[in-house]
Amino acid sequence: MALGLRKIILLGLIGMIFLMGNIVLIANWLSETGLPEFADHIRSNYLTGTAITIIVALLILLTGSKTRDKVFSLSRRCPVCDKRLMGNPNYCPDCGNSFSG
């Protein structure tokens, strides 16, 4: 793990500790600003069952295909040159990239 990543994780943990220590203060501040009532208004007026159904359907349709990672599929793509390869080859004939397992 790189040093920069360790520093970011440490700063995030310190921030989470400060946030958890002041959770009552933050909850009171949010209540005073009226954010919970606004969120309830948005949920009751705009987040209907139809909207949730459409969002879930779009998430299902827009996610990547799981067949790309399968070893035994009819075709696969080279991760280097993105060429479609038929069968289960051990290497890409265009760029020479070898596939493991």
Q: Which residues contact 79 (CB under 8 A, 6 or more apart)?
A: 97
Per-residue confidence of the chain (101 residues) as pLDDT tens digits? 788 889 999 999 999 999 898 999 989 999 999 999 999 998 888 888 888 888 889 888 887 665 555 555 567 778 788 888 776 777 788 887 887 64
Sequence ranges of the domains in the chain: 1-47
Query: Residues 6 or more apart from 80 whose CB is under 8 A from it?
Result: 92, 95, 97
